[in-house]
């Protein structure tokens, strides 16, 4: 199986300014992400960024980086520009690894790429893992995914889905609820694999109302009738970086691992 990894990165972040350049163990975070991606069997690993500061940091480390438009609304749109400029064939598999995942498991990257490669009917593939705590289930910042019998996504939501009507029928607050063992709620993992041809098509798709409501861009794919395969991971992935507190936690994990 052949696949490419493209890591979209933008300099501005509301909660953590200059996030891709944040130091983790003596290197910028974006470089740490590249190093994790290079542990896979990817044919190539490329950063697609919006600022010369990121490009310079990646180039200084000796890795490939492409400066893309600063006007892209999402990382997926940035990938679409990158695959065109790389002249990738439509059937090439491209994995979108977020630029704020310096601890991402290389095996998970490969597994999501393989999941897409195994079924030509899929437009893209992503991942999930089982939710074990009621706190995560009811947390709107934890995105849930419900799948059909073919392990294809039916819906993504910030709401607690699937809703077990009978088990949750009591009037107790959600702090008192325990998840039924058979609920099998799945947390979405924000790792995506696409075929290059679909990325080109995605850039032309109109946004959906559901996407605007939930603030989940993958709903645009389902809205327009495309199939998303979901690889079920055995465990939760390592934490990404969204806030200064996240950054300190990742730095601590990194230091401990060394």
The tens digit of pLDDT for each residue in 37-57 reads: 999 999 999 999 999 999 999
CA angle 53, 10, 83 (to 5 degrees): 105
Q: Is the pLDDT of residue 30 over 90?
A: yes
- Mutual orientation of helices 29-37 and 52-60 as an angle, nearest 10°? 50
The answer to whether residue 177 scores a pLDDT higher than 80 is no
Quote the pLDDT of residue 256.
87
Highest-confidence segment of 71-80, 85-94, 200-209: 85-94
pTM: 0.92
| Residue 25 pLDDT level (bands cut at 50, 70, 90) | very high
pLDDT on residue 162: 95
The region, left, alpha or beta by phi > 0 then psi within -120 to 50, assigned to residue 187 is beta
Structure tokens at 129: 């893992």
Alpha carbon distances (Å) from 111 to 191, 193, 246: 11, 10, 25
Q: What is the pLDDT of residue 12?
A: 83
Q: Give the pLDDT score at 125.
A: 98
pLDDT number for residue 128: 98
- Determine the pLDDT at residue 175: 58
CA 114, 96, 193, 145 dihedral sign is positive
| pLDDT classification of 89: cutoffs 50, 70, 90 | very high
Q: pLDDT digit string (tens) for 105-137?
A: 999 999 999 999 999 999 999 999 999 999 999
Rounded distance, CA 153 to CA 148, Å?
Answer: 7
Q: What is the rounded distance in angstroms from the CA atom of residue 164 to the CA atom of residue 178?
A: 11
| Cβ–Cβ < 8 Å for 201, 220 | no
Cα 10 to Cα 65: distance, rounded to the nearest angstrom: 12
Portion of the chain with pLDDT greater than 70, in percent: 97
Q: How far apart are CA 24 and CA 41, in angstroms?
A: 24
pLDDT score at 174? 53
Cis amide leading into 253 (omega within 30): no
Each residue's pLDDT tens digit, 141-171: 999 999 999 999 999 999 999 998 888 876 5
> How much is the average pLDDT of 59-65?
97
Decide: residue 170, CB within 10 A, 0-12 exposed, 13-18 middle, 19+ buried: exposed
Predicted local distance difference test score (pLDDT) of residue 148: 97
The CATH number of 3-243 is 3.90.550.10
Helix residue spans in 118-243 (DSSP H): 134-137, 196-202, 209-214, 219-223
Where along the chain do its domains lie? Answer: 3-243
pLDDT at 31 over 60: yes
pLDDT at 8 over 70: yes
How confident is the model at residue 173, as a pLDDT? 56
Q: How far apart are the C-alpha atoms of 124 and 112, rounded to whole Å?
A: 9
Chain Cα centroid distance, residue 51? 21
Mean pLDDT of the chain: 92
pLDDT above 60 for 5: yes
């Amino acid at each position: 199986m052949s696949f490419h990894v493209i890591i979209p990165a933008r300099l501005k972040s509301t909660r953590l300014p200059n996030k891709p350049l944040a130091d983790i163990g003596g290197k910028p975070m974006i470089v740490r992400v590249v190093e994790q991606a290079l542990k896979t069997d990817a044919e190539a690993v490329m950063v697609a960024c919006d600022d010369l500061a990121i490009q310079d940091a990646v180039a200084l480390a000796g890795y490939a980086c492409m400066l893309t438009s600063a006007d892209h609304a999402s990382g997926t749109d940035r990938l679409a520009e990158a695959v065109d400029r790389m002249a990738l064939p439509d059937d090439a598999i491209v994995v979108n690894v977020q630029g704020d995942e310096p601890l991402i498991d290389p095996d998970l990257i490969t597994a999501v790429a393989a999941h897409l490669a195994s079924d030509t009917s899929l437009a893209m593939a992503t991942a999930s893992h089982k939710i074990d705590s009621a706190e995560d289930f009811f947390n709107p910042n934890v995105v849930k995914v419900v799948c059909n019998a073919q392990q294809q996504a039916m819906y993504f939501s910030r709401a607690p889905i699937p809703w077990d009507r009978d088990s949750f029928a009591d009037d107790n607050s959600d702090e008192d609820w325990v998840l039924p063992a058979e609920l099998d709620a799945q947390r979405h993992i924000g790792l995506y694999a696409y075929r290059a041809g679909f990325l080109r098509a995605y850039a032309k798709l109109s946004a959906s109302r559901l996407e605007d409501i939930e603030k989940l861009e993958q709903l645009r794919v389902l809205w327009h009738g495309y199939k998303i395969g979901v690889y079920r991971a055995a465990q939760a992935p390592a934490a990404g970086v969204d806030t200064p507190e996240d950054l300190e936690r990742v730095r601590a994990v990194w230091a401990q691992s060394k």
